[in-house]
Structure 1
Amino acid sequence: LRYLSMTGRPDQHVALVEAGARALHLFADETDEPEYTDVLDLDLGAVSACAAGPRRPQDRAPLGKVAESFQAALPHLRPTGRTDAAEAAAGDGLKDGSVVIAAITSCTNTSNPSVLMAAGLLARKAVARGLRPPAWVKASLAPGSRTVTRYLERAGLLEPLAELGFHVVGYGCTTCIGNSGPLPPEVSAAIERDGLVVASVLSGNRNFEGRVQQEVRANYLMSPPLVVAYALAGTVERDLTSEPIGCDRDGRPVMLADLWPSPREIEEAVSQNVSRDLFETAYATAYDGDQNWQQIASPESSRYAWDPASSYIKRPPYFDGMSAAPGGAAPDIRGARALAYLGDSVTTDHISPAGSIKANSPAGKWLIERGIGPAQFNSYGSRRGHDEVMTRGTFANVRIRNKLVPDIEGGFTLHIPTGETMPIFDAAERYREAGTPLIVIAGREYGSGSSRDWAAKGPSLLGVRAILAESFERIHRSNLIGMGIVPLQFEDGTTAASLGLTGREVFDILDLDAAIGATGKAAKRAVIRATASDHSVTEFEAIVRIDTPMEADYYRHGGILQYVLRQLLAAR
């Protein structure tokens, strides 16, 4: 209630929340002894600061183990072809583990006054001791709102953050989604020349491969004050619990504990500088915008006016050739080829990256052909309204590994009929021209990460009809069905490797309609027949992960969009 009041909510709204909370018995009655179903004991002495990385948010590393976690992951993070552990020969000190991006970012952490004030207080103490980040660190601050900027400024903490390189770069999705921009040319050149595994530290929510910055292979999530601390250290290969962050202007070592603000310092900074008037001022002008915003032409119409020349928004093809009614029984999939054979933990960022577009990628080439230079590429995320860009970006993550082309990292595959290696989009186009349906083979946790709709839309538009995986992330499995792709799951104990599949076979998926219509879990099996080039056949069953009658309806209609449109037409 204090938070609602402090952030400018009307008094009647605060009163309504209180009344509702009391009606739901959410207020404690100090006269009653609470009863609990379970009681858990927590040793507060065992609680420690943590980071997460270098590749997934769930890869938690206690602060004292961050360097160890990086070393353990280093052999797997090195670029394809680099097997040595040699340090870089660059004279600027850049090496494996160097922090090249330090970003106070994300829509969540940067709206938390306590951690933002903690970062600013740590920065102020560091500046007072004469500490500065190494030259290779690209730092940035993306506050959660303009109100955050105002209270940091009021507290006198915006200036020390800026002195350490944490200038305000904007509001909204920045480094967390891959919008950090390019690294300095000399840093990029050293990374490329020496095959370095450099790091980013950010207060974002996700750190999947290729998401934060395509040249940065190790990415650690952490709190804003720790982002400042690692920026000063310049490397993730230092144990900040026992080693100095650096040396002050007098040459004395400075420990993290010397800079870390106390709870009282943070509380005072928040109470003295975060107030209701800041939020009320921001809310009063939230929708005004600046002069540029006011001058944008906004046609008034109930229908969107499609601009054929736009490279950002295009009329999507989902309803092209759609009939008034679904075709009846779900057909078997015959003569399919594998577009990709992937491993475990393939995330939606691998499937449909949201970050920068490379000039030599299919999407980059498409934009260049239309007179759009690399400086105007923007990002995949900004062009998600244009299917031709996004389809070309599907499976285009620079860190994806396709077992059909094991010696290449990135969005490439083997066009099996010709034996040619090519971008995944180009191969999909060749298969489309030949009328060949496509599947994707994968391991465990396919589709984990952000619930990104284009991770289902993109494969569907490439012609993928089925995903055969060991397990699926829950939301992504549902999204696949919504785009007319059938999720097929290997039975427990069975994998593509255990069946001897290479991904070069011709696949038939049989008894699909009966499996979709089955009500018992044991009956929801499709027969997969894989025929190798020597005509040997591997036949096995896979679980059809269409789990509900509604999902079955979506699939039989070709997807949720077609289902909804037909329902609307039927109701007219």
Structure 2
Amino acid sequence: MSASTTVSSVPPSIDSFKCRKTLTVGDKTYVYYSLPEAEKNGLKGISRLPYAMKVLLENLLRHEDGRSVTKADIEAVSDWLENKGKAEKEIGFRPARVLMQDFTGVPAVVDLAAMRDGMLTLGGDAKKINPLVPVDLVIDHSVIVDAFGSPEAFGRNVELEYQRNGERYVFLKWGQDAFANFRVVPPGTGICHQVNLEYLAQTVWTANGTDGETLAYPDTLVGTDSHTTMVNGLAVLGWGVGGIEAEAAMLGQPQSMLIPEVIGFRLTGALKEGVTATDLVLTVTQMLRKKGVVNKFVEFYGPGLDHLTLADRATIANMAPEYGATCGFFPVDGETLNYLTISGRDPARIALVEEYSKAQGLFRTKDVGDPVFTDTLELDLSTVVSSVAGPKRPEGRIALPDVKSGFLTALDTEYKKPGEADKRVSVEGRDFDLGHGDVVIAAITSCTNTSNPSVLIAAGLLARNAIARGLTAKPWVKTSLAPGSQVVAAYLDKSGLQQDLDKVGFNLVGFGCTTCIGNSGPLPAEISKSINDNNLVAAAVLSGNRNFEGRVSPDVQANYLASPPLVVAYALAGTVKHDLSTEPLGTGSDGKPVYLKDIWPSNQEVQTFIAENISRDLFKSKYADVFHGDEHWRSIKAGSGLTYSWDGKSTYVQNPPYFTGITKKARPITDIEGARILALFGDKITTDHISPAGSIKAASPAGKYLLDEGVEPADFNQYGTRRGNHEVMMRGTFANIRIKNHMVTDAAGNVIEGGYTIHQPSGERLAIYDAAQRYAEEEVPLVVFAGVEYGNGSSRDWAAKGTNLLGVRAVVAQSFERIHRSNLVGMGIVPFVFEAGTSWQSLGLDGSEKVTIRGLANVRPRQVIEAEVTRGDGTTLAVPLICRIDTLDEIEYFKNGGILPYVLRNLAA
């Protein structure tokens, strides 16, 4: 199966609007569902829809079957225009394909393997368990930056990756052979989103119809990573989902969703000299977070698009999770075609993209009027300034001149260290000292920016200019370069800029998602000791999209997102307590101070290097044999067979308990009676806080389990690589070192960080996992309370799976992030929200209460249910809660105990 070919077949639609037509491009004829024809035949005004909504509408027209997609569903999209861009209507969206990375992909494949076992338990045919749409899994999240700053770093990190992940890779190789419609892109190729952008995505997809014809339709997808949205920059509609939703999509289930509001983001003008796409996306993120776009589509339009490269658009689309939207979409235009051409796509496919998009009214030109949006906002690109975001939120943009003062303010107020700005401590065995704000990690990493040649080339040129002036990274900075694809390494090498980056310390450490997801690796032991012994607030600067607390490194509290050239600049300066706009980076070899403006490359220099070093041939050569892998991958011996031979001794891959004792009919839903509160959380608890991520501590429940299994701490690896083992993952749920459960305080009443709770009624402080196990032995159900935007961040299915396995029946919050709410339902957990103006704090809860919620057996979407809260003194409180099971399909998932048992029962029947 090539990147432009699928093996799925698409049944014909009912075609209520008589819009099935043919389109001839070159010597091929395609069947398609014409939006202009549908408009003529009753869908009035749909040519004025936003481009992303047109893609959704085409999807409904093509899949109209009278059941999962009805004529009324299709008409609701047309009615959206008359209702000022709003519609309370559930639709079923069927993506063309599914994208996975290995952290989230391994448990998805584990679940598919377990479903085959479950199918046999139900007396069904295990062969029915196969992806029904194309699935690509890119192994990109397992490389860790152990070695750095040397030519040997890359080879050493690859070697360690295979040593640590052999069990997982054997399992994935088995899956590649066992499942139809499933491909694996081996380690060392790149980040899934960048590989998707550069190779897998086609903008217009094709498949065989059941009548033997070839269908053409928009390329759409869901992915098991929130940054799947990056490909929206290539006019491919997609977003991140949890692994459980992705598995349902793979098995032919529609993605239930409400017709979204679409926020139009109008861009005008052009970026000024020296301002990067990273500066732009941090500005966009801040604006959209302030606007409030959770659960909404964002679509970019206006004359400013003519001044953005495809890579710039992908940079903006990538960070949709950071600004909270479902997706950030850019329509097809001439720049789309240019990118498809230079990135090596088939000329016939490029011709199809152009002709199909024009025939469908999906091709943007200057002459086409603006679509109708639910709401709009606007940005003049010329007003964007050099910026970073931090110290712990992607939307926390700070103009470059304000970084120093912002950190010093945070040091006083956020980190509670007033008067310590000048504190310095010695580092054992080294000839330097450390202080607050010193940059100990500087990483060029992440799909957001390594997909964009303008910022990578700029980083290389800045490094070249710094070397010429006699500067290099400070000795306490851990420097790394982890490109998102081999194409990046190729053009940096061809241009000679990699040599300059090497001299500054930014040697190649691997191809994959590293520092941004916590794969930064350990700091040198003496630096880590100095930080922790002296309670220093160390800093990291990375070209990533995530800087949540505890994510990048357990030794680093202040994390800043920045463009790749600024990452290099901060490595040179060695601290965020320098104002890089006015203070020197260091002293040059001539004894004179060197300022950032002295070594910052011009836009013209950057564009010249891009033109001279990036070509179609480069892309084609690097993707010529993308599924073959290196000698490490080729040497892996995997078993074969319809079902997987589970190794009971494996600490990486285990058969999960979701289908243990499954019956052909679901058991009745019971009410939640006398539940105990496992945790009281504050606002913006991310999936990084909930789901196991990063390093595994020996003293943690997961660490103790691994020790009991004979695994030495040096071989613990990290939570992400052990997502295929539920025993590790459930022990790591809610175990983040920075999470704050407000039930747990010190003598002064301050909330203690870490995954602890108070077991009731004993009053004993326990790790959350240990408390959950005790409650399970006592047959006591559990609930969790939280504040606003519970579950924001990455689309981690284990944030829901782990919650389920700990015995949590319901989560009550002020609001949820889209993906996590859906994942909770997918694991049979009820998400509730308080009515406006109510919170657990306003109710005066302290965690000692009991909670009863009745009426779940017949619950309806968004029904108001009254919870009964009983305090320790016996008094009761009636609390109205809104059930956030949003659709009828989700009700069915909930009644079956989750989406996977629901799908399995249907397939068995």
TM-score range, shorter chain: over 0.9
Report what 1:374 is aligned to: 713
Report what 2:803 is aligned to: 459
Give matches, 1:192-231, under 5 Å.
Answer: 192-231=532-571
Partner-residue secondary structure (3-state), 2:851: strand
Question: Where does structure 2 lack aligned partners over 5 or more consecutive residues?
Answer: 1-336, 427-431, 747-751
- Structure 1 residues 435 and 144: CA distance shift in structure 2, 3 A: same
Partner-residue secondary structure (3-state), 1:404: strand
Shift of 1:288: 2.4
- The letter of the residue matching 2:500 is P
Partner-residue secondary structure (3-state), 1:450: coil
State the Cα RMSD in Å.
Answer: 2.1
- The letter of the residue matching 1:20 is Y
- Structure 1 residues 253 and 86: CA distance shift in structure 2, 3 A: closer
Inter-partner Cα distance in structure 1 for 2:889 and 2:365: 45
Q: Which moved more, 1:82-91 or 1:307-316?
A: 82-91
- The letter of the residue matching 1:424 is I
Match of 1:439 among 755, 761, 783: 783
Contact between 1:77 and 1:218, CA under 8 Å: does it hold in 2?
Answer: no
Contact between 1:77 and 1:197, CA under 8 Å: does it hold in 2?
Answer: no
Shift of 1:285: 3.0
Partner-residue secondary structure (3-state), 2:743: coil
Matched, 1:528 2:867: yes
**Which digits, 9 at most, give the CA deviation of each residue in 1:279-300, with x for residues without a partner?**
2221223222222221211222
TM-score (structure 1 length as normaliser): 0.93
- Structure 1 residues 185 and 163: CA distance shift in structure 2, 3 A: same
Q: Which moved more, 1:38-47 or 1:367-376?
A: 38-47
Report what 1:491 is aligned to: 835
**Which digits, 9 at most, give the CA deviation of each residue in 1:55-105, with x for residues without a partner?**
1212222222222332343356538xx776464341333111111111100
Contact between 1:441 and 1:503, CA under 8 Å: does it hold in 2?
Answer: no
Matched, 1:423 2:762: no
Partner-residue secondary structure (3-state), 1:108: helix
Inter-partner Cα distance in structure 2 for 1:143 and 1:209: 24
Match of 1:319 among 656, 659, 668: 659
- Which structure features the higher share of strand residues? 2
Matched, 1:334 2:673: yes
Partner-residue secondary structure (3-state), 1:566: helix
Give matches, 1:540-555, under 5 Å.
Answer: 540-555=879-894
Shift of 1:427: 0.8
Report what 1:501 is aligned to: 845
Inter-partner Cα distance in structure 2 for 1:369 and 1:88: 42
Inter-partner Cα distance in structure 1 for 2:370 and 2:771: 62
- The letter of the residue matching 1:67 is K
Report what 2:618 is aligned to: 278
Inter-partner Cα distance in structure 2 for 1:150 and 1:467: 48
Matched, 1:57 2:394: yes
Q: Which moved more, 1:400-409 or 1:343-352?
A: 400-409
Inter-partner Cα distance in structure 1 for 2:650 and 2:370: 62
Report what 2:702 is aligned to: 363
Aligned length: 561
Contact between 1:88 and 1:96, CA under 8 Å: does it hold in 2?
Answer: yes
**Which digits, 9 at most, give the CA deviation of each residue in 1:168-193, with x for residues without a partner?**
11111211111111011111111111
- Structure 1 residues 345 and 273: CA distance shift in structure 2, 3 A: same
Report what 2:572 is aligned to: 232
Match of 2:349 among 5, 13, 22: 13
Give matches, 1:66-145, under 5 Å.
Answer: 66-75=403-412, 77-78=414-415, 85=420, 87-91=422-426, 92-145=432-485
Q: Which moved more, 1:3-12 or 1:500-509?
A: 3-12
Contact between 2:850 and 2:869, CA under 8 Å: does it hold in 1?
Answer: yes
Shift of 1:14: 2.3
Give matches, 1:153-172, under 5 Å.
Answer: 153-172=493-512
- The letter of the residue matching 1:331 is T
Inter-partner Cα distance in structure 1 for 2:849 and 2:368: 66
Match of 2:794 among 450, 453, 457: 450
Shift of 1:526: 1.9
Q: Which moved more, 1:229-238 or 1:41-50?
A: 41-50
**Which digits, 9 at most, give the CA deviation of each residue in 1:514-536, with x for residues without a partner?**
5x23x6x5xx2222222222222
Shift of 1:46: 2.3
Inter-partner Cα distance in structure 2 for 1:446 and 1:37: 31
Inter-partner Cα distance in structure 1 for 2:855 and 2:350: 58
Inter-partner Cα distance in structure 1 for 2:372 and 2:851: 52
Shift of 1:256: 1.4
Matched, 1:481 2:825: yes
Q: Which moved more, 1:362-371 or 1:244-253?
A: 244-253
Inter-partner Cα distance in structure 2 for 1:323 and 1:210: 42
Inter-partner Cα distance in structure 2 for 1:398 and 1:243: 35
Contact between 1:78 and 1:196, CA under 8 Å: does it hold in 2?
Answer: no
Inter-partner Cα distance in structure 2 for 1:544 and 1:51: 38
- The letter of the residue matching 1:175 is T
**Which digits, 9 at most, give the CA deviation of each residue in 1:104-132, with x for residues without a partner?**
00123112211111110011001111112
- The letter of the residue matching 1:448 is N
Inter-partner Cα distance in structure 2 for 1:366 and 1:243: 50
Q: Which moved more, 1:428-437 or 1:14-23?
A: 14-23
- Structure 1 residues 124 and 155: CA distance shift in structure 2, 3 A: same
- The letter of the residue matching 2:745 is P
Shift of 1:43: 4.7
Partner-residue secondary structure (3-state), 2:447: coil
Inter-partner Cα distance in structure 2 for 1:17 and 1:101: 42
What percentage of aligned pairs have identical amino acids?
Answer: 55
Inter-partner Cα distance in structure 2 for 1:541 and 1:147: 55
Shift of 1:45: 4.5
- The letter of the residue matching 1:106 is S
Contact between 1:339 and 1:439, CA under 8 Å: does it hold in 2?
Answer: yes
- Structure 1 residues 257 and 333: CA distance shift in structure 2, 3 A: same
Contact between 2:588 and 2:594, CA under 8 Å: does it hold in 1?
Answer: yes
Contact between 2:692 and 2:729, CA under 8 Å: does it hold in 1?
Answer: no
Inter-partner Cα distance in structure 1 for 2:360 and 2:886: 35
TM-score (structure 2 length as normaliser): 0.60
Contact between 2:686 and 2:793, CA under 8 Å: does it hold in 1?
Answer: yes
Report what 2:722 is aligned to: 383
- Structure 1 residues 409 and 36: CA distance shift in structure 2, 3 A: closer
Inter-partner Cα distance in structure 2 for 1:159 and 1:365: 44
Report what 1:569 is aligned to: 908
Shift of 1:309: 1.2
Partner-residue secondary structure (3-state), 1:336: strand
Question: Where does structure 1 lack aligned partners over 5 or more consecutive residues?
Answer: none
Contact between 2:761 and 2:848, CA under 8 Å: does it hold in 1?
Answer: no
- Structure 1 residues 93 and 539: CA distance shift in structure 2, 3 A: same
Contact between 2:494 and 2:613, CA under 8 Å: does it hold in 1?
Answer: yes
Contact between 1:98 and 1:236, CA under 8 Å: does it hold in 2?
Answer: yes
Inter-partner Cα distance in structure 2 for 1:443 and 1:41: 30
Report what 1:181 is aligned to: 521
Report what 1:512 is aligned to: 856
Matched, 1:401 2:740: yes
Contact between 2:692 and 2:798, CA under 8 Å: does it hold in 1?
Answer: no
Report what 2:813 is aligned to: 469
Report what 1:556 is aligned to: 895
Report what 2:276 is aligned to: none
Partner-residue secondary structure (3-state), 2:717: coil
Inter-partner Cα distance in structure 2 for 1:310 and 1:468: 36
Inter-partner Cα distance in structure 2 for 1:469 and 1:72: 31
Inter-partner Cα distance in structure 2 for 1:478 and 1:34: 35
- The letter of the residue matching 2:705 is W
